Structure 1
Amino acid sequence: MPTISMFYGIFIRMYFAPGEHPPAHFHVYYAEYKATVNIHTCEIMDGELPRKQSRLVLAWAELHQDELLRNWRLVMAGQEPFMVQPLA
């Protein structure tokens, strides 16, 4: 599962597999926490993150929603996703 962005100890990853299940989403890892975020709604679908990291990830997702959707289309076609600019 390629890492497509990293910031403040948070790792954003997408499965590189055409069979990945809808809805469009990405995976977040922070320390012992993990969550799955819906790209269309920018909401956590599964798992949990600490409050601060959750706010950072969801704000980042809103800023990069178009890029995340392009990456989703790539992985669904069996292609490798590209890196997305981290929060600065």
Structure 2
Amino acid sequence: MTTHHCTFMVEIWSGVAQGKFPKRARRHVLEWHDLHRNELLEDWEFCRARSEPKSMEPLE
């Protein structure tokens, strides 16, 4: 089994992605970001307030 390590970051507000990630996986991550953007922003505020973020549904 081959293990791959990737560094990939998606800016919550803009959706701008940086880093290397397989194209298909990148597309799925960006789709998930689009679906959960408001939840991500809400969780970011929870984290800034040192509160536990809520869980989110995975991409199906």
Match of 2:21 in 1: 49
From the two aligned structures, give the one with the greater strand fraction: 1
Q: Structure 1: which 5+ runs fail to align?
A: 1-30
Corresponding pairs, count: 57
**Structure 1 length-normalised TM:** 0.60
RMSD of aligned residue pairs (Cα, Å): 1.1
**Structure 2 length-normalised TM:** 0.84
From the two aligned structures, give the one with the greater helix fraction: 2
Q: Distance in 2 between matches of 1:82 and 1:57?
A: 18
What amino acid is the match of 2:49? A
Q: Structure 2: which 5+ runs fail to align?
A: none
Match for 2:30 among 27, 41, 58? 58
Deviations 1:2-55 (A, max 9, x none): xxxxxxxxxxxxxxxxxxxxxxxxxxxxx41121110111121x3221111111
Q: Distance in 1 between matches of 2:35 and 2:5?
A: 25
* Residue 81 of structure 1 pairs with residue 35 of structure 2: no
Give the percent of matched residue pairs that are identical in Structure 1 and Structure 2: 33
